[in-house]
Structure 1
Amino acid sequence: MLDKSVIEILQRVSTATITTVLLKKGLRNVWLREAMPLRQGQPRLVGPAFTLRFVPAREDLATPASWSSPISTRTAIEAMPEGCIAVVDAMGIKDAGIFGDILCARMVKRGVSALVTDGVVRDIEGVLGTNLPVWCAGTAAPPSVAGLTFVNWGEPIGCGGVAVFPDDVIVADKDGAVLIPKASLDHVLNEGPAQEAEEAWIVNEVTNGATLPGLYPMNAETRARYEASLKK
């Protein structure tokens, strides 16, 4: 569980800003490809990653009977802690829905903050009806076993080409979902709000007619003006 103060800070920092802050730290691959908002207007959400992993379907394992197995998406959902963001490695497969309305409804009851995946969901009307915020690659009618085999949860995964470890921090907004490695969390908490404030000042300067050279990025003179504005 993340501290409330951490969540409040990151809810005010865009995923675009986070990617830039992490890029300056040398981390280039933190944006989860294909994981885009299923519904327009979803709020920016923050939570620790609860990971789930699928592999390609194997006919003797990917069957409706597997849904009752001790290792199943159903069992994994019952292990999800309140406030987590479920991050699902579906290998970018788009012709089999990993979760539908019933599983999403149960996630809501368990207090899960969101579902993020590089795959797709099914039962779209029902999923939207649960009000579970979802970031995914779209929708498909077939069930997961039509193209995937569920293998485990709570282990490192690859989602959208990004390595995700349990309890890494996920921030998701209109630009998609990004990962903050646990070791880089304090850095983002320190640098993210500062960059948001700086860029808001730059936008205001542009609105007032300023030209970009020397403003974005700031040269020494512009930096001095910006820092002076903070003291007013």
Structure 2
Amino acid sequence: MALDQTTIDTLKTITTATLTTILLKKGLRNVWLRGAMPLRKGQERIVGPAFTLRFVPAREDLATPASWGSPISTRAAIEAMPEGCIAVVDSMGVRDAGIFGDILCARMQKRGVAGLVTDGVVRDLDGVLASGLPVWCSGAAAPPSVAGLTFVGWQETIGCGGVCIVPDDVLVIDADGAVLIPQALLDEVVGEAVEQEKLEAWIVTEVERGVPLPGLYPMNDETKARYAKFKEGN
């Protein structure tokens, strides 16, 4: 699924913190991917549909360097990634085997992949950083993926960082980590998030001019009336 540019541009202005609040109000508590933090400080917020990849525990007859040339391989999966997608990798939280290194990340960057997010780690850290691919993960480790994991497929429902990810669900990722938006809820979440950002920006201005928090955040009826009046004038 390709996201329209308007949706992408709008979500790039919305923090993941705001999105978790909106999703919480809809009853979705488990939408933040544990263990996936920015590899490089200052990475810009990215938005895109999930392209999922799945690893399982290593089995010695399957997890070998020769498996990298198999039709079911991370290499084949990368060639199937559409431009603008976010690669979401279920690494089972394994931290002593790097799922992707510099060459694979460079190829993803060349194909126009928006970014990589995993609950595991990468390897060839300097090369991965040099590739320019935005990466969110749990760190780096020298051993290759086959030292601890077996790659089994792509574009299927996975668990990453303790969150259920379905292909084409939408991810928004920034300095606070990665947040999942179920594809079916996308339009209403976007609309509500835009209003929430406007509301919180107004609350910040109120705090800056000395208004105390009780009744302001969350708002009581008087504050709601003041905010409504503010919106009418803007």
Q: TM-score, normalised by structure 2?
A: 0.99
User: Counterparts of 1:158 and 1:186 in 2: how far apart (Å)?
Assistant: 24
The Cα offsets for residues 88-131 of structure 1, whole Å up to 9 and x where unpaired, read as 00000000000000000000111000000000000000000001
Residue 204 (structure 1) aligned with residue 209 (structure 2): no
Residue segments in structure 2 that go unaligned for 5+ positions in a row: none
Matches within 5 A, 1:23-34: 23-34=24-35
Question: Match of 2:131, as an amino acid?
Answer: T
| Structure 2 Cα separation of the partners of residues 91 and 173 of structure 1 | 22
* Aligned residue number for residue 226 of structure 1: 227
The answer to whether 1:175 aligns with 2:142 is no
Identity of aligned residues (%): 73
Q: Which aligned segments of 4 or more residues in structure 1 are displaced greater than 4 angstroms?
A: none
Tell me, in whole angstroms, the C-alpha distance in 1 between the residues paired with 2:225 and 2:87.
Answer: 44
Deviations 1:131-152 (A, max 9, x none): 1000000000000000000000
Aligned residues: 232
Please state how far the C-alpha of 1:53 moved relative to its aligned partner: 0.1
Instruction: Give the secondary structure class of the aligned counterpart of 2:212.
Output: coil
Measured in 2, the distance between the counterparts of 1:227 and 1:42 equals: 35
Query: Secondary structure at the residue paired with 1:42?
Result: coil
2:45 aligned residue: 44
Q: Do residues 2 (structure 1) and 3 (structure 2) align?
A: yes
2-structure distance, mates of 1:228, 1:218: 14
Q: Deviations over 1:131-186 (max 9, x none)?
A: 10000000000000000000000000000000000000000000000000011101
Aligned to 1:147: 148
Instruction: Provide the alpha-carbon RMSD of the alignment.
Output: 0.4
> C-alpha displacement at 1:9, in angstroms?
0.7
> What TM-score do the two structures reach when normalised by structure 1?
0.99
Provide the rounded CA distance (Å) in 2 between the counterparts of 1:183 and 1:112: 23
